[in-house]
Structure 1
């Protein structure tokens, strides 16, 4: 959801989000979480759904507790439901809101699974699968498709263990 092209440079909130996300990915998740929370306090008053969706999506990834991650993932989904393609495309011309939904529903499903709410997890996995056609045929698309398969297997096994290498599902 973030970009390093000129669209990010023209949108100070997206540039700040990208900077914070990079901070988290380079070993400072606490600092990244603090920076993103401060941005949330700032942009949530303006209500730009792209900013809110992106912030909540990345804030969820920075929480190991599945209940906390779930709250942020639901905020991200709610913001996506208010986001229009034309707004997303002002950030980057290739973005389509429909393409956000596989990852958003996957993350919610994974958190419900980790909380032992397997019926809710199945519901969101089914929702993620409804939007698979919106995923690109690239590494990102393959990552999300693989994660959906893995979370589905964990739901069938009634496993509440965290997926390896991620706080949230990391997509």
Structure 2
């Protein structure tokens, strides 16, 4: 769903972000609150709630607004909102994680991962996917295969093994364990394996990763 730059609520939120960028946090919060008070429909309220969650000193209030933004998103036409859900789920997950509720945090990080397929290609998407991946790892949701892949990538980075890195990194960065992500990793590791450019131990590890990815495809 597109944001109308001429919309009064959107304009207030833009002013709030400008104030925030200038370090005027209280002014920004007031502008976001004004946006909320001005909202006349669920999309405007969703927009304002999303920004009201920012810069809250009380994490419970931050969570309240993140959950409200998510609730309002659920009332809107879904196809137009799909691209918003990864960041919405990510924000809710981060709030729960900060509160120490890792169960709820893991739940929403996983929902963020599952909805990430709707994100377009670009820097914003890379940032969101990276945030989701880091969150999943912090709450203990990285699976053993992810740890195995990370160990290989870290070793290649340490020894400046550019050839395997060039083949694997595009599929590895921001990998969230979705079906599409697994397919990309499987293709990358299969191609790497076929080049036979690795040590015996690394070749064996890559074979194990390929088998695990194939079994989960």
TM-score category of the 2 structures, normalised to the smaller one: 0.7 to 0.9
Per-residue CA deviation, residues 10-51 of structure 1 (Å, 9 max, x unaligned), is x122112211122112211110101111221232xx2x2221
Instruction: Tell me the CA shift for residue 82 of structure 1.
Output: 1.2
Residue in 1 that maps onto 2:11: 15
Bigger Rg over Cα: 2
The TM-score with structure 1 as length reference comes to 0.75
Q: Secondary structure at the match of 2:53?
A: helix
The TM-score with structure 2 as length reference comes to 0.60
Residue in 2 that maps onto 1:166: none
Q: Does 1:146 align with 2:148?
A: no
Q: Does 1:128 align with 2:125?
A: no
Question: Which of 1 and 2 has higher RCO (CA within 8 Å, sep 6+)?
Answer: 1
Residue in 2 that maps onto 1:109: 93
Select which of 71, 82, 91 maps to 2:75: 82
What value does the CA root-mean-square deviation take over the aligned residues?
A: 2.0
Structure 1 moving runs of 4+ over 3 Å = none
Query: Between Structure 1 and Structure 2, how many residues are aligned?
Result: 141
Please identify which structure carries the higher helix content: 2
List alignment gaps of at least 5 residues for structure 1: 87-95, 158-171
Instruction: Tell me the CA shift for residue 68 of structure 1.
Output: 1.4
